[in-house]
A and B are shown apart, each in its own frame.
Chain A
Amino acid sequence: MTLERITVAEAAPPPPAARRSHSVIPGFGLTLGLTLLWLSLVVLIPLAGLFLKTAELPLERIVAILTAPRTLNALKISFGLSLAAAAFNLVAGAAIVWALVRYEFPGRRVLDALIDIPFALPTAVAGIALTTLYAENGWIGSFLAPLGIKVAFTPLGIWVALVFIGLPFVVRTVQPVLEDLDHELEEAAATLGAGRFTTIRRVVLPAVLPAFLTGFALAFARAVGEYGSVIFIAGNLPNVSEIAPLLIVIRLEEFRYADATTIAATMLVAAFILLFVINGLQRWQESRTGRLA
């Protein structure tokens, strides 16, 4: 959950003892061996099975599956709406983080704790709750319906679900960095005559930018793979509101294993890439502020 807490071991200045190649601490062989065994059994071998299954297919078949309009549309919907949701979370997250870190107001601590609800609330529960809220006869949906805005069972509904699950990633990534930001810089800028807006833009923003991008990438990565909260609210209409993970399930249910595994393998490659981007962003943050994002 607190994805922002991942640290890249080698990037941190290692404590002097860790540099020693022969540590006096026992258990190296045992723990590393177990680590590799466990990792292989639970994660690597199953994922390798997926690639193996995909590799059994001729290349033309893989290309045909991935370029089929329905696949392309599902990927477009998943990645596009995830991007839109992460972008919105960037803006909303900025306001929330700023309010939580820089202002004192009644209920601040409660608000702070509530941010983690989407982490802790199971996705299926979030899915049915959001659907009930935003359906035309729901608490929010009934207000929007007269305005001609439909949320549930449209791409907008998917976006709402993805905003819900992504919000904590941005807030929790940026929050510690903003908290640690040296106030003197801002004061210096102000003393030198910079307006408040200029100070924020020139002093604060550069310092927290990597953290924002990390939060954005984390929210995006989570949203792309999200299933439980989306399927209830999406409408699941091919080419319109069908997300890629749902298409995998549908292909599986249609006995089309080749399609299911190929799309799944593609999603997995995307997950790898995103993970490396996130790692890179975290190193950047660290070099900026000396703090692990």
Chain B
Amino acid sequence: MSASPVRSESPAVKWTVIALASAFIGLFIVLPLINVFAQALVKGWEAYAAALVEPDALAAIELTLIVTAISVTANTVMGLVMAWAITRFSFKGKSFLITLIDLPFSVSPVVAGLVFVLLFGAQGYFGPWLFEHDIKIIFAWPGITLATIFVTFPFVARELIPLMQEQGTTEEEAAVTLGAHGWRVFSRVTLPNIKWALLYGVLLCNARAMGEFGAVSVVSGHVRGETNTIPLQVEILYNEYQFQASFAVASLLALLAIVTLLAKTFLESRVHARRTRGGH
């Protein structure tokens, strides 16, 4: 990064820009993060621990883990399938298909929740049928899972598609020519090449799945100890004057964010290494 003199600014400009950038990041990003932990620990470690082992908090953590496990697994498997279809074959409308896969990113989380209420709510299209057959979707974990799958839909696929495109199909074709079958080609040729990008996608998918609020809030019903995920539990505690407990539970999610960032930084270096070695 040693800039040649002709293309660098005066030190005054340089340090002003750096100061501005740091101030901005400090004020808008770091301070809120620190604030979460400060508020969580305002009554000391004992109160902090107590807030986390409270039964409703534990139930929320359990539900979040279940919902996340299902959503991330589903989106990982299907992300691989979608990336395979898109990058390994040419067909009409591919560009449009990719746009559709990206669509959940620009849909407001609230709208994502609403569409499932319209489908599966008691007044919705399938509501009466579901009631007769005693199947609960909305206000139960299946609805929460569906909404989570919707909002995290593109995460894995969109990490894989550019990489698999760059890598091309030569290696897989060679493997097929040598007599390897479909699954073997995938597991022995493709997977090793994309594993870091795949993990990267899973990581981002996981972070969003655990933290989703808007979509889940619409379909949850807010039954404590049963249909509250961690973010909803944060809101409930916040509304019960239990600010310290609320921030304590929130700090779990903030920790998740920090772990995600660390893992992301590590994975990025691996993806980058892979790309420069294998790509282009």
Residues of A within 8 A of B (CB): 1-3, 5-12, 14-15, 17-21, 23-28, 31-32, 34-35, 38-39, 42-47, 49-50, 53, 92, 95-96, 98-100, 102-105, 107, 111, 113-130, 132-133, 139-140, 160, 163-164, 167, 183, 186-187, 190-191, 196, 199, 221-222, 224-228, 232, 244-246, 248-249, 252, 257, 260-261, 264, 267-268, 271-272, 274-276, 279, 292
Contacts and interface: CB of A to CB of B under 8 A. Distances in A.
B105 interface: yes
Given A18-B90, A95-B21, A121-B254, A271 B110 contact: no
Classify the interface of chain A: helix, strand, loop or mixed.
helix
A248 B172 contact: no
B111 A248 contact: yes
B60 to A, nearest CB: 12
**8 closest Cβ pairs, A-B complex:** A122-B211, A225-B108, A15-B168, A228-B213, A227-B214, A120-B257, A190-B6, A31-B85
B108 A50 contact: no
Given A32-B91, A44-B100, A275-B99, 13 more contacts: A1-B204, A3-B105, A18-B88, A43-B153, A53-B118, A160-B28, A164-B28, A164-B29, A167-B29, A183-B7, A245-B109, A252-B218, A267-B111
Nearest to B158: A6
A229 B182 CA distance: 45
Nearest to A44: B100
Contacts, number: 350
B115 A25 contact: no
A25 B180 CA distance: 10
A100 B64 CA distance: 36
Contacts of B165: 7, 9, 12, 14-15
Interface of B: 1-4, 6-9, 14, 17-18, 20-22, 24-25, 27-33, 35-36, 39, 78, 81-82, 84-91, 94-95, 97-111, 114-119, 123-125, 146, 149-150, 153, 155, 158-159, 161-162, 165, 168-170, 172-173, 176-177, 181-182, 185, 204, 207-208, 210-214, 217-218, 230-232, 234-235, 238, 243, 246-247, 250, 253-254, 256-258, 260-262, 264-265
Contacts of A186: 6-7
Given A42-B150, A264-B111, A228 B214 contact: yes
Nearest to A78: B108
A246 to B, nearest CB: 8
A246 B31 CA distance: 26
B250 A9 contact: no
17 contacts: A10-B94, A21-B90, A24-B173, A42-B146, A44-B100, A50-B114, A50-B115, A115-B25, A119-B204, A125-B253, A133-B31, A164-B28, A227-B108, A252-B218, A257-B118, A267-B111, A279-B99
Nearest to B80: A31
B6 A225 contact: no
Contacts of A2: 158-159, 204
Given A25-B88, A275-B102, A99 B18 contact: yes
A149 to B, nearest CB: 14
